[in-house]
Each structure stands twice: as C-alpha cells, then as structure tokens.
Structure 1
Amino acid sequence: MNEKITTFLNSGLLDKYLLGETTSAEAEIAESFIARYPEIENTYNIMQHNLEVVVKANAVEAPKSILNNILDELDNTPVVKLNIVKKYKKWYKFSVAASVAALIFASSSMYFYDQNQKLHSETLVVDDEINDLRGDIAKNNEMLDSVMRQLLKLNNPETEKYIIKGNERAKDLKTVAYINPSEKTSMIDVVSLPELPEEQCYQIWAELQGKMVNLGILDKADRQLRSIPYMEDALALSITIEPKGGNTIASMQNSVAQIKLQ
C-alpha cells in the first residue's frame, strides 16, 4: 500500500464521507480516491457493510400510533361553516325576528364554547403525543451515539472478524464474532439460529488453556450486535446446545459450531 493511500485512510476523510459529514469539496476528494484506488474502494465497502450491521442490530421500529393519533385528532376537529342568509321581514314581524335571533345567538355561543373546550382538550392530547415523540427522538439520539461507538469498533483495523457457521446438526446457524485484541473487546452478531425445543438453548464458549469458559447464551429473540466477555489467549470459540438457562460445563457432545482463533 503506497504512502498516498495510507495518508488518505489515516486522515479520517473516508469515515466522514461514509457518515455524510463531508463538505462538497471533501466529498469530491473522497469519491476520487474511491474511484482511483481499489484498496480504498474495498475499505469503503467493508465500512459500509459494518455500518449496515450496526444499524440492523440497533434498529427500532418507530411507533406508528403517535403520528396516526395526531392525524386522527386533526381529522376529527369540526369545521364550522356559518351561512348568513338575509331575510327581509315586514315591519310588524321585526320583534319576533329579533327574539329568534337572540335565541340563535345564545345557542350558537354555547355551541362554539363547547367546541372550543373540546378543541382545547384535543390540543392537550396532541401536545402529549408531541412530548412523547420528543422523548422518542431523544432515545433515538442516544441509540445513534451507541451505533457510532459500535461502528468505530467494527472499523478499527485491529478488529478481527470470525464467521461461525453451524455443522450438520445446525446447518442454518450463523453468527459473526468481532474481536479486538488491542482494546480487549469482543462482540457477536447473531445472524440466524435454528429452532430448538423449549427446554434447550444455544450457549457460546471460549476454549482457554484446555478449559471451556462460558461467554453467555445466544437467544434467537435477541438478534443484535452485543458485547461478550473478552478472553485473552483464547484458542477457539464453540457453540453448544445446553439445557434451558445455560450450563456451567460445556456439553461438547452437543457442539453445533466451532472456529479456531488466530
């Protein structure tokens, strides 16, 4: 890798371009390097994949009820049309017309008052929904910060990626482990886990000095990128089928996946 490519990768411009934080001039520079150098294009593609992994792992479906409730409230707000029709009466009916007009005015005033109170109540409901939405936005911002931290870990050149596939007993099993020896961190992304009977579960282990160390249970309902204990000098990772709740000793006769570590 020549010095020009190394300098560009160390500048952080590729990371900014991936996250959409570059100026137009910086974007042109990044796109030029991606187009000219296959090494940079390959690095960019890997970073895009890592970003997709992190976003998928932290994705939370936005609640549909909030916007729908607001729109429903606005749609149900009454629209009052006033039609003023002038009717000319003879002079001897003026007093009767005035009385009727007074009654109509009183009834209309009461109607508008009731509608105003109802609209006020509906406005309070909408305000509550908006406050809830703001709370969700704050939570999403916190989640975004977490995503960025995870993305930085995945894009770290020291992070090693291990794809763990199932054997004949669990052909559809697939998980991806990300291990960074320099930062002493380990993460795992559960891609797919075959169904198990209710009384069983999948458990992941690290082989360390002839012992199997428990790293936790893999739950199909918890498909997300998450941290697992880092085991220094671990030789391999194994996944076994254990009784529900996990086991203290690995049942290697029920091993469904294993991968050697560098």
Structure 2
Amino acid sequence: MDINSYIASGILESYVLGSATPEEIAEVEQMAVKYPEVKAELRAIEDALESYAFDHAEIPPTHLKNQIWNTLVADTVHIDAATQGTKVIDFNSGEEVEPVFTKPSGFFSSYIRIAASLALLGSVLANVYVLTRWNESKQNLTAAINENINLQKEVKNNEGMMKPSEVNLLMSPAVKTFKLMGQKVSPNSTVMLALDMRTNTVYLVRPNLPAPPAGMQYQLWAIVGGKALDAGVFDIINNTQQLKKVPIPNAFAVTLEKKGGSAVPTSDIFVQGL
C-alpha cells in the first residue's frame, strides 16, 4: 500500500473530526498500529485542531457572566425553598422535631460563600464559553478540511496538491468560500472562490475549467444588485490567484472573454454560484 496516498486521501482528517464510518475508524486504527507514519500524521492533525481552537479563542462576553450568575442565584433560592417543611425524626424518641439548619455566620463565612460562588461562577463561565467556542471552531475547521479533502480527491497527481498557504486561506475565520458549479455550456466545470470579508478581496482557488482558446481568457463577475461587476480575469493554473476587491455579492459567475477582459459579460456563463 502507498502510505503517502493513504495519508493524503483525507480519511485521517475524517477520523480525527469524528465523521468517519465505523469501517473507516477500524481501518485507521489498524493502520496507525501498523505504520508509524499514519500514527504520526494523526497526532499532527489533532495538534493542528487544538492549536486552531486556542488561536481563535476569545474573552467571554460580560452578558454571559450575568446569565450564569442569575441562574446560580435562582437555583440557590429553589434549594432553600425546597428545605422548608422538611420533616426530621428524632432517633431516640421517634418523634417529629423542628429541623435545625446550622448556617455559617460572620465575616469569614460570608467571605467563604462569596469566594466559593465566584470560583464556581468562573469555572462554569470558562467551561461553557470554551466549549461553545471549541464547537464553533471545530465546525469551521471541519467544513474547511472537508472542502479541502474534496478538492484533493479531484487532483490526479502530487503537483496539483493544495499548498499549506491555500489550506490556511480556506480555514481562516475571516474568509467565506464559494463553490461555483458548471452551467449548460460547461456542466462538469467547478470553481472555488475565497472572499476575505475584511478586505473584500477575492481569491480564485484551483479553477476546474476547459483550457481557453488562443486570445481568450476567463473573467469573474460579482453579481451585485442585478449588475455584473468585473472581479478580474484569471488563468488556468495550479495556484491560488488574487483577483479584485468587490462588494459583498448576491452571486458569482464566470464567462469567457477576449484576453484582458471585458467591461460587460459577452459570452455564456460557464460556472455560477453563491
């Protein structure tokens, strides 16, 4: 078996992210025992996932603290109310007696209660927020990695494998990805776009389009308010290409124009999507 091809297939990422089938899980675990390279790659993927979650961690918002504090107070009131009317039987006489609840008093006991409450609040706050952010980061990373896996499977040789810089671009929380699907004129074509929401810059990731005729070039259009805005021309190469800055579009489309581009679309749409 070609171990490098197995590692590049995407099955290890699926295993770490919990999306592998039972059969795939059993296979990966067997391969990890048999091949040190597979075991090392699994550890690297796990470390990358953990680093991604911590790198994108944020300080918990103030309103979350208030929500948890109110919940703790409500639970305390509920517990105090539940103790009212509690029956206590004297062990020696067998008769019912008035329950006596011993409560701490004084500054020290108040300090202990406050400190314990704050410690509990801080722990709950941190755990709830970290868990929420972890799930969000994991979902974002899962989507990016799965998209990368799908792109990798479309590539037929090592020369076409995505570079780390391209993977990082797709994984960035500030980037929104778009997959344009083939239209009637070219139904099997696809184009992956990455739009940096901070700068409105469009990046073209590995276009899958027929080679253009001599003197012709593909052009990307951002459809905004029913108008087609020039987003740049591009070539069919195995590298990510930075195109133009555009407003947030309603859709993207690609046409085939004269080399250098056109002011308006003049041909049929090859791929389109949002």
User: Normalising TM by the smaller chain, what interval?
Assistant: 0.3 to 0.5
User: When the two structures are superposed, what TM-score results if normalisation uses the length of structure 1?
Assistant: 0.43
Q: Normalising by structure 2, what TM-score?
A: 0.41
